[in-house]
Structure 1
Amino acid sequence: MDNAVLREDYDFLCRALMKHPSILVDAQTRKDFMELCQSKIEGISTYEDLIDAATELTVFFRDGHTNIEVPYSPVDFCVPLRCGWDGRGGLALREEYGGIPAGAYILGIQGITVENLISLMSQRIPHENRGKAW
């Protein structure tokens, strides 16, 4: 993806987030957010950089409702498994899927344990998980 496109997307997000209620009612919050937006733009040169910067922008509000969703692309592989925590710190299927019975315990995905997957995901959405804080 081209740097200009990434920055255009980032600029769009900054402008959209300028409509957040906390910015509209507090001048200092608005100033702090504008400074954060400016401080991140130069570091965006890859898609991953864009997602990291966008995550940091949404974490700024600390409201649990302002977030981004990383979209699936045609090259992603997504299996629609309905899962739930099984009480042992892992995942279990809630309903049968492709011959795998409901209640089956999920040990890992592509060789990565469920615990490590959760840890990796928490780095992408740190304000709602136990990963690093921004």
Structure 2
Amino acid sequence: MPPDRGRPGVRVIHRPAAVEPEERALAPTKRVLADDVEVADSGLSQLLGLMFRRSVPDDYALAFRFEAADSRSLHMLFVPFAIDAVWLVEGEVTKVKRLRPWIGLGWGRADTIVELPAGAADDVEPGDAVVVEG
């Protein structure tokens, strides 16, 4: 079963961790990383992920939700474009990594993983909040 395509009202939101007081006025409080969100919530959709797709839109995300935090891995086999992967535990970023096409590998502790187009997570850092809303 493929992931649910673009659930209405589902977005991926980034909230940076606390910043220094002098930077607070300049720092955004939140930013939408994706408005077009698929949720891979079946075993098959999680296995397939982004495999065999040619590209994804700029405002796209694929979210993998799991019942509990554990060591989770990603591979880029049959994915011909780079992505940014964000590992989350209870909405807090534990790891961010750019995965290369075809050969990229990544792993981290997570109860949710969000895959985004390369560059979409450039400002996301461990300790920040990223939430799949909706």
| Structure richer in helix, relative to its length | 1
Output the TM-score relative to the length of structure 2: 0.24
| Structure richer in strand, relative to its length | 2
Output the TM-score relative to the length of structure 1: 0.24
